[in-house]
């Protein structure tokens, strides 16, 4: 991804786990990452309507959703992200 930012949507309700993942990403060779963090699936849906992301990291045990249905709903709304991968 030379010269471009990798846009990542992180859907994770645990702030500690979100911070941990941010630290891991800082130590990678991915270059500059633009990480958008939300704690609820509904907030992720709003972000997906506003922006296109290269990667979506989704916690499957969220306060407003649980299990594979979260991923299915997220993929339906991700549009461009789902088609690229």
pLDDT(18) > 90: yes
Q: What pLDDT does residue 36 have? A: 94
**Looking at residue 3, what DSSP letter applies?**
T
What is the CATH number assigned to the segment(s) 6-84? 3.40.50.2300
Q: What are phi and psi of 47, to 5 degrees?
A: -65, -40
The average pLDDT across 61-81 equals 76
Give every CB contact of residue 15 below 8 A, 6+ residues apart in sequence: 39
């Amino acid at each position: 991804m030379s010269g471009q930012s990798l846009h990542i949507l992180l859907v994770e309700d645990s702030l500690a786990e979100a911070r941990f993942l941010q630290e891991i990403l800082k130590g990678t060779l991915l270059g500059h990452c633009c990480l958008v963090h939300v704690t609820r699936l509904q907030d992720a849906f709003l972000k997906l309507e506003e922006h296109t992301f290269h990667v979506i990291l989704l916690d499957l045990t969220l306060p407003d959703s649980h299990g594979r249905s979260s991923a299915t709903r997220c993929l339906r709304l991700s549009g461009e992200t789902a088609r690229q991968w």
